Amino acid sequence: MTQHGTHQDTGRPMFEFDSATAVSRRPSDGSSDQPGHAVFDGEIHDGWDIGGNANGGYLLAVAGAAMREASGRVDPITLTAHYLAPGRPGPVTIETDVVKSGRQLVTMTASMRSGDREVIRMLGSFGDVAAASGGFSDVVGGPPDLPPLEECSARSDNGVVGVPLMGRMKVRLNPAHARFNEGIRTGRAVIEGWFEFADDRPVDTLALLFVVDAFPPPVFNIEMPLGWVPTVELTVHVRGIPVSGPLRCRFHTEYIQNGFLQEDSEVWDASDRLVATSRQLALMPRG
């Protein structure tokens, strides 16, 4: 599978996200191979972390890149990850297995390991998200009603320190939702804003796996013990191929109880079409 963009001269990826999610398949060693099994080498790159822990959406994209290549299909359609250990910068291996290769979808599992520690376990289906475009369509709601991009608050200008991840992207929050760092909370666990990569890489369906976990937790806007919100499980549905231009995203939490919270996202492209949704189950910050 080709990289999204490569320098004509060097063959190296033009964009940070492509370098950071590059994986290479190990040559098959013959006799011991199980059918549908493959092993990839990849690397958790520095700079995609919050306080030393790689962002969950970034890990999803690295593993998703290996699964996509092994599937032989162009798009992740639905992908679930369980987060088992923090991802630290350094080499990782991703083992992938084909569960079922169907006409429309290829179902895959994958496991990402860093040394002897498993970081994430995945289950997902890959296909062609635009194969059935133009058929029956019915979408309730639409993109969030955001102020123009230039009137929104850069996440990185917003008093957040120790978040190298912020250098990878231009996330511009609706100013109405962006004052939690000053202790001003809206009282409703919603954060909306614009998303672009810092180096203007176009967002394809692989990058959507990163986008759905790229915003601050919306619970920062309610009176709750603050802190790290560890994801237990994250499921992404890729629903379309984004047209070029900034994405509009809505992140929100409705259900906090019994030590767990849910967080949903909807991601819309510049043509007002839904391109991804996600839902995660996370642990409450321990106060």
Least separation in angstroms between CB 132 and a second copy: 3
Sole window of 56-64, 178-186, 195-203, 252-260 interacting with a second copy (rule: CB under 8 A): 252-260
Place of tokens 């409705």: 254
Q: Is 171 in the site for a second copy (CB under 8 A)?
A: no
Least Cα distance to 203 among 28, 62, 59, 18 occurs for: 18
Among 147, 222, 243, 245, binds a second copy (CB under 8 A): 222
Among 14, 50, 74, 123, binds a second copy (CB under 8 A): 123
Cβ-contact 171, 193 below 8 angstroms: yes
| Cα 124 from Cα 235, distance rounded (Å) | 9
Sole window of 20-28, 43-51, 61-69, 222-230 interacting with a second copy (rule: CB under 8 A): 222-230
Cβ-contact 277, 265 below 8 angstroms: yes
| Cα 17 from Cα 127, distance rounded (Å) | 22
Q: Interaction with a second copy in 10-69: which residues (CB under 8 A)?
A: none
Backbone angles phi, psi at 164, to 5 degrees: -55, -30
Between 130 and 270, name the residue whose CB sits nearer to a second copy. 130
Among 131, 160, 226, 270, binds a second copy (CB under 8 A): 131
Token pair in block for residue 62 = 């690295």
The total of other beta-carbon atoms located within 10 Å of residue 241's CB is: 18
Among 37, 72, 259, 269, binds a second copy (CB under 8 A): 259
What kind and span of H or E run contains 207?
A: helix 205-211
22 by Cβ neighbours in 10 Å (0-12 / 13-18 / 19+) ranks as middle
Q: Is 256 in the site for a second copy (CB under 8 A)?
A: yes
Sole window of 23-31, 149-157, 176-184, 237-245 interacting with a second copy (rule: CB under 8 A): 237-245
**Which residues bind to a second copy, rule: CB under 8 A?**
77-78, 80, 82, 84, 99-100, 104-105, 107, 109, 118, 121-125, 129-133, 135-141, 188-189, 222, 224-225, 232-233, 235, 237, 239-240, 254-260, 262, 273-274, 277, 279, 281, 283-284, 287
